[in-house]
Structure 1
């Protein structure tokens, strides 16, 4: 039975060509936009220096307004990949004007050439959303001084001390970031399982919707007295705010003992 098995290849069998895989490694960036001007796209990524830093430190920021320091960046995720960089070259044939458009498209393509350039070992992807943007008033002191430095305005630069005395927007300080959440999450909104929807229709009236709560457990008792911080903790916090009216959460916790750090809540008050 072993003699009946034909181990020879058929006559029309065509052996695939063998290619040597290059060892050159590349760094790819999935740019979240239609790139028309390559130079401007590189400026939003920090230029060649920013890309070189991203390869070594795995950190890349995208700024749609690179010349604006108040523009919050989009953080890119650099992940290891094993993709191949393929170079496709299409050769076109000269088309005469008396041909139709369909015939021209068919005859203009002479052939395709494919070449593997190397391995993409790292890829930067932008999957997060941009943070809220804050554009300051161009008539404020700091934007005016920055514009004077760019334009070499000596008179405005010499008058910098008077610009610092402008206290109109002293309390309107933008935070370094507005939102801590970069990617949206599916919350999964749904009705409470203990609440049942019932349609009640009376004669001559439109049907009304009633929600019937069928909770199996009794409601909890009301809190008699809320927890209040100790007078010593309140005195220490008041003393710190008397020394300096504005504190960051981290600086305030570093100046308080461990017993008072639990009383600081993650809340903000808008004036």
Structure 2
């Protein structure tokens, strides 16, 4: 018995393959619409004159496929109502990807057969499907279009100057190129613009647009997440000054907020963040008064018995003298206590603040004391002498922490200078007879040289100022120059003698060692 089932028709696959284009626009059924769509795939930007046409686009696509290219650019035509769009050159083309395809190209024909039967008209549609061949390559435009830039047209001009130059270059118009002049840049960098939300300021900078703005299809997954040590905390936000805003961001609300706009904010704060152990740094030009207390984050830190004892000792020294250099204050302690203070940096921040610039720069000032309003604080000004000794081989360990980088002879001198009770040597004092290689900054009250004493203790309107400045402090320019030149001359003279003595002692020690080695070698000779 014959099989009653009907089998599907068999078709032979043609040898020719096709390239399909998923065009990002509407293509009509007319030939002109197809030619316009193909002309947008041409690599030439200038339309017309046979340059941007369907044949050139097909030749360009064939060239890309033969070279194995992966990108095709599509330059869409101007929008309706913008014939001959002059801003076309600022529009970036759409990017299409060349990917392999495995579809089939079918040609479907529809025939409409009509037959009149009496008064009725019978209509019958016949569809014919023809296989033309397989699809080997597909050009698809699925990327997002880039942003388009439209420059602001100058007032009273019918064409943008840049576009006029571009047209002249495309037409090879030499006269237009030679006649082109760059316009003067407007000094009005912001202009007022009316928007739906009101008036706002818009940038008027004549900036060259970038070659690309963004061609990212999907936002990149950065994987941002909060620090595990951070937590939400409510902090006050005070708009009085930069200093109070910094304090509010740190989570402390001890700033003076009277009469200020206060808001409560919720912020992520790192509970294990590094605490600032340095003293409060005050700029000389700040009009605010001297700080009266340390930062609240340091004030609540737990302290040991030794911390409390050293704090009491430091406060006592600051009560005797309100301004100290770090070296002079450290020299008031024993060697062991000074080593502990150097490691516990928060001790200085708990008892004093410092200046970031000015005549008292890097000094430790007692809380509540402002040397800018006390004329007697001129004796507490610092003077720094440039031209330190040349670098010597550094040493490591505790000695480097205490004395810095000094030579072997200088190290021995410093160790001998230490008092029997364990106090540090008085390297912060300049007496005009001795000098320390590791110290080049002195306070005027620590200069005991009889030659300099009359220059430091000058008085009168010709030598002192009514209001201090950031360079010479309370002294006039002439008085300060006399002090600086005299101490600089004496300091460098003593420093030169000290270096020569160090070098002589070093050479003597080296000669002694070499002589000892030579004598030992002589004894070993049989």
TM-score of the pair, normalised by structure 1: 0.56
Out of 118, 123, 126, which is 2:138 matched to?
A: 123
Rounded to whole Å, the distance in 2 between the matches of 1:222 and 1:42 is 66
Out of 6, 26, 41, which is 1:14 matched to?
A: 6
**How does 1:32-111 map onto structure 2 within 5 Å?**
32-36=24-28, 37-46=33-42, 47-56=57-66, 57-65=69-77, 68-94=88-114, 108-111=123-126
Rounded to whole Å, the distance in 1 between the matches of 2:179 and 2:272 is 63
Distance 1:191 1:147, change over 3 A: closer
CA contact (8 A) 1:64 1:71 kept: no
Distance 1:143 1:115, change over 3 A: same
**How does 1:56-205 map onto structure 2 within 5 Å?**
56=66, 57-65=69-77, 68-94=88-114, 108-136=123-151, 137=153, 139-147=159-167, 157-168=174-185, 171-179=206-214, 181-185=215-219
Match of 2:39, SS? Answer: helix
Rounded to whole Å, the distance in 1 between the matches of 2:267 and 2:149 is 46
Distance 1:92 1:42, change over 3 A: same
Distance 1:149 1:221, change over 3 A: closer
Structure with larger RCO (C-alpha < 8 A, sep 6+): 1
Quick check: which has more Rg, 1 or 2?
2
Distance 1:140 1:16, change over 3 A: closer
CA contact (8 A) 2:168 2:177 kept: no
Match of 2:183, SS? Answer: coil
Distance 1:185 1:159, change over 3 A: closer
Return 9-18 or 19-28, whichever deviates more.
9-18
Distance 1:33 1:168, change over 3 A: same
CA contact (8 A) 1:90 1:109 kept: no
1:80-124 CA distance string (max 9 Å, x none):
11111111111112488x99xxx98xx544211111101110101
Rounded to whole Å, the distance in 1 between the matches of 2:277 and 2:15 is 72
Rounded to whole Å, the distance in 1 between the matches of 2:267 and 2:184 is 57
Distance 1:13 1:85, change over 3 A: same
Rounded to whole Å, the distance in 2 between the matches of 1:74 and 1:222 is 53
Rounded to whole Å, the distance in 2 between the matches of 1:55 and 1:72 is 22
**Structure 1 unaligned regions, length at least 5:** 1-8, 197-209, 226-271
CA contact (8 A) 2:99 2:139 kept: yes
Distance 1:161 1:31, change over 3 A: same
Q: Is residue 27 of structure 2 the alignment partner of residue 31 of structure 1?
A: no
Root-mean-square deviation over aligned CA pairs: 4.3
Of Structure 1 and Structure 2, the greater helix share is in 2
Match of 1:132, SS? Answer: coil
Distance 1:224 1:39, change over 3 A: farther
**Structure 2 unaligned regions, length at least 5:** 43-56, 79-83, 187-204, 233-264, 279-526
Q: What is the total number of aligned residue pairs between the two structures?
A: 192
Rounded to whole Å, the distance in 1 between the matches of 2:277 and 2:41 is 57
CA contact (8 A) 2:165 2:176 kept: no
TM-score of the pair, normalised by structure 2: 0.31
1:12-69 CA distance string (max 9 Å, x none):
1223332111111111111122212111111111122332233222321111148833
Superposed displacement of residue 131, structure 1: 0.7
Q: Which residue of 2 aligns with 1:259?
A: none
Distance 1:186 1:163, change over 3 A: closer
